Amino acid sequence: MPTIVRATVPATEVALAETFAALPTLEVEAERVVKSGEKVVMPLLWIRNAGVEEFESACAEDPTIDDLELLADFGDELLYRMHWIEQVGLLLQMLTNGQATILNAFGTEEQWHLRMLYPSRDHLSQTKEFCVEHELEFTVDAIREMEGDPSGRYGLTTEQYETLVTAVRRGYFEVPRDINLEELADELGVSHQAVSECLRRGTEALIEDTLLVGFPEQETQPPSPLEGD
C-alpha cells in the first residue's frame, strides 16, 4: 500500500553540508529531486538567505556539488539546478531500490527534512536496512498509509477532505462568497460548529503537510490588538 513518510537526515549524510557550514542561515527547498546517472542526483533547489555571489562561492568549495546553474534570481530567492555527486548514496537508494518519490525536501545547517511517497512499507524497510548497513542516521518522524483515500495524500481526515473540497466547489472561498458557513453546513448535513472546525483543522493540516515540511514550529504569539474588534 502506498505510504507517505516524513523523515530527517543529517546534512552531512546527504549534500551541501559544507555550503551550510559556510552559510549557517542558509535554507534550501527542493522543487524537484531526480536520479541522473548511476551516481548522480540532480535537484532543482530554491535558495534563501544568501546572495548569488556568496552562495556560488560556498558551493565552489563543496565536494558534493559537481555543477550548478542559476535559473532565476528573485532577490530574496534563487532557483538553481545542481548535480550532486558525493554522499548521495542514501538519496539514490530512495529513488532506485526504494522506488520513492521525494515530495518535499527542506535543508538547513543541521539536517534535511524529507517527505516521501513509497510504494509500500517494504520499500521503506529497504531504505532503513540500507542506512543500518552503511551506518547512516535516518529518523522516521511519521508514517501514513494512504489506503486509497485521496485525503490520505495530504494529512487530512476524510471529513476534512470532503468539507474543504465541497467548500471550494460551492464558492465558500470566493470573494465575495457564493455560500456562507450556515449554508455550507446545511448542505453537508452537519452543524455550523462542525464545519468551522473541519475547515480550520483541515486547512492547518494541509499547510503543515505540504508547505511547512522542515520549518521550525513557531512560538505562540500574543493576540493582535485588532483581534476580537
The whole-number pLDDT of residue 222 equals 41
Low-confidence ranges of the chain (pLDDT < 70): 147-154, 209-229
Report the pLDDT value the prediction gives residue 129, as an integer from 0 to 100.
95
How deeply is 198 buried, as exposed, middle or buried, from its count of CB atoms within 10 A (0-12, 13-18, 19+)? buried
Instruction: Note the maximum CA span of the chain.
Output: 62
26-75: pLDDT as tens digits: 999 998 898 887 788 999 999 999 999 999 999 999 999 999 999 999 99
Contact (CB, 8 A) for 4 and 115: yes
Per-residue pLDDT, 204: 83
pTM: 0.70
For Cα atoms 132, 136, 139, give the angle at the middle one, nearest 5 degrees.
90
Res 205: pLDDT: 77
State which amino acid sits at residue 9: V
pLDDT computed for residue 228 by the predictor = 39
Q: How much is the pLDDT for 210?
A: 64
Give the whole-angstrom CA distance, residue 34 versus residue 108.
20
pLDDT value, residue 153: 63
b/e 29-52 (16+ beta carbons within 10 angstroms → b) = bbeebeeeeeebbbbbbbbeebee
Domain edges within the chain? 3-145, 150-210
